[in-house]
Amino acid sequence: MKQKLTKTDLAAAVALACDLPKELASRAVDTAINSIAHALSQGEDVRLTGFGTFSTRTRPQRSARNPQTGQPIVVPESRLVRFVPGSVLREAVKQ
């Protein structure tokens, strides 16, 4: 089974790498995540050099069918988060 890196694990890694208390590292990770979310909610792109780019795009309104009844429905427009990995991340995953 694949292991998962949780936010707590990430904060512990930051604390260890930067010689910080875990509470401070946890706040730093939370602040970074909240800053990314806020920028995306404002329509901004977030570019982390080497890691990747987060952006939003709009999925237009479209027609679909209710699978239970077969009735046509309209799926409203929605905003999605898109992530494009950077070259450093792509190379790290290949290895």
The Cα–Cα gap between 15 and 90 comes to 25
Are 86 and 70 found together in one domain?
yes
Q: Domain with 85 in it: what CATH number?
A: 4.10.520.10
- Contact call for residues 39 and 46 (beta carbons, < 8 A): yes
**Which tokens in the block code for residue 87?**
């070259």
Residue 36 lies in domain? 1-44
DSSP 2: -
Q: Mention every residue, 6+ apart, whose C-beta is less than 8 A from residue 95.
A: none
Are 52 and 95 found together in one domain?
yes
Are 51 and 92 found together in one domain?
yes
Are 10 and 38 found together in one domain?
yes
Are 21 and 51 found together in one domain?
no
Mean pLDDT of the chain: 95
The Cα–Cα gap between 33 and 65 comes to 36
pTM for this one? 0.81
The Cα–Cα gap between 88 and 21 comes to 28
Question: In angstroms, how far is CA 74 from the centroid of its own chain?
Answer: 27
Are 52 and 87 found together in one domain?
yes
**Which tokens in the block code for residue 39?**
């920028």
Q: How do the pLDDT tens digits run along the chain, 95 residues long?
A: 789 999 999 999 999 999 999 999 999 999 999 999 999 999 999 999 999 999 999 999 999 999 999 999 999 999 999 999 999 999 999 98
Are 37 and 66 found together in one domain?
no
